[in-house]
Chains A and B, each alone.
Chain A
């Protein structure tokens, strides 16, 4: 994932596994190793961020309440 954010959590994990396999193989040159480590760190941060987003306790919303809120904010004078 050299440029931009990963497409999804699973894409990030898949790439991360590739990177670690490559590093474990011991065949990557120094430049490649450093690049892979940098990319991998970005992916780890992304994955950790995604997990943090669903790690702060379950929130419950009601669709009817959301719809009502939407209606009032769309009402006249809003």
Chain B
């Protein structure tokens, strides 16, 4: 940590804490031993770059994910009993072996390889296993769905076809299109359909076709064969290319029982080129032409029919108002007659009624008059009696009033006062003297008592 950093423009010493340095030859031999102790395994893949020396054959075994350099001693290769030339580029093989390392030395170069001790061509089982693994992977990535989401025109005018130039598939496809009544344009893209060069060329042909704007659908087809024969159509790169194309791809590879990976990624897969033709042109053009004729007829019928029916209806409607008017007129006449009859009948009835009413009124008036006369007579009698009674009552009342007045008069009568002991001063003529002055002026007067009169004179009168 506290080691001083020496910097003279040179890079710092790498890994100062690592063990070593060791002598490289010793290290290389240790590496060889370590590698040879690794467990032996089986590998499967495609053979490429085959070469031979005097003692061994060498090649790369590869697939879409990677490659391993391999070597096999020629005597081991002979013992494997492969057919002549079977170990060639593009062959799918299974090898058994393990890691090996040649340390080199002197002038010889060091070399790493997978040392195969056994080799055989890959069988259906091996290929199926690889196919399933690839299928799982591509499905997991969603690549099976992309093509299926593309719209497939029912009536493309131009379709592209990838197939072998001389194959039966080409003939079958044309026959299928002919049966559809389809006479559009086919753009052929011929490509090898078997061997290790096939897949890239098929992919390239598909891309070129898809690049042409007039191409609306693409068919990829070849006849049947073993899975090894069809293996190009299981190529991962090819299948990824198909999945990404903008144009729907219809695959018809092999026969019904064959299932290649391109069938999974394509928009549609068919068992034969004939079916592929039907999938590429879903519309049966012969049927469609008949159908369009039928629709054109239906339209004409629809238009004519609608107009004719409406014309009839309109005619009926036009006659309608006149009929309605006639109906109304008849109705009106009928009503008029009824009203007239009713009014004549009404007048007679009213006259009779009025006569009846007049009779009743007169009768009622006569009775009322008679009643009045009777009532007046009764009243006269009643009045006479009342007058008698009233006269008696008035007489009595008057008598009573008189009596009352007499009582009242008596109460005021001076004589009554004299009776109670008072005296009345009077002049000799009998005029009452109601004041002292009057008595003084009179000089002589008389005092009347209850029981007699006394003459009296005022005192001043004596002096005189």
A residues contacting B by CB (< 8 A) are: 8-10, 13, 16-17, 19-20, 23-24, 28, 30, 33-34, 36-37, 40-41, 44, 47-48, 50-51, 53-64, 66-67
Contact = CB atoms under 8 A, between A and B. Distances in A.
Given A48-B292, A51-B292, A58-B183, A34 B188 contact: no
22 contacts: A8-B153, A13-B288, A34-B303, A44-B292, A51-B155, A51-B288, A53-B157, A54-B285, A55-B183, A55-B285, A58-B178, A58-B182, A58-B184, A59-B183, A59-B184, A60-B185, A61-B185, A61-B187, A61-B188, A63-B190, A63-B208, A66-B212
B153 A63 contact: no
A53 B208 contact: no
A30 B177 CA distance: 43
Contacts of A61: 185-188
Contact of A63 (B174, B181, B187): B187
Given A10-B154, A62-B187, 12 more contacts: A19-B299, A20-B298, A24-B302, A34-B303, A51-B289, A54-B281, A55-B181, A58-B174, A59-B184, A60-B185, A60-B188, A61-B186
Nearest to B187: A61
B362 interface: no
Contacts of A54: 155, 157, 182-184, 281, 285
Contacts of A66: 187, 212
A77 to B, nearest CB: 25
B295 interface: yes
Interface string B255-287: 000000000000000000000000001010100
Contact of A47 (B184, B212, B288, B298): B288
Given A48-B292, A63-B160, A33 B186 contact: no
Interface of B: 153-155, 157, 160, 174, 177-178, 181-190, 205, 208-209, 212, 281, 283, 285, 288-289, 291-292, 295-296, 298-300, 302-303, 306-307, 310
Nearest to A50: B155
A37 B299 contact: yes
Given A50-B155, A53-B157, A54-B285, A59 B185 contact: yes
A37 B304 CA distance: 10
A57 B302 CA distance: 34
A24 B309 CA distance: 13
Nearest to A67: B208
Contacts of A24: 298, 302
Contacts of A44: 292, 295-296, 299
Contacts of B291: 13
Nearest to A44: B296
A13 B295 CA distance: 9
B307 to A, nearest CB: 8
Contacts of B298: 20, 23-24
Contacts of A58: 174, 177-178, 182-186
Given A53-B184, A59-B184, A30 B155 contact: no
A51 B306 contact: no
A63 B289 contact: no
Contacts of A34: 303, 306
A53 B281 CA distance: 13
A20 B303 CA distance: 10
Contacts of B288: 13, 47, 51
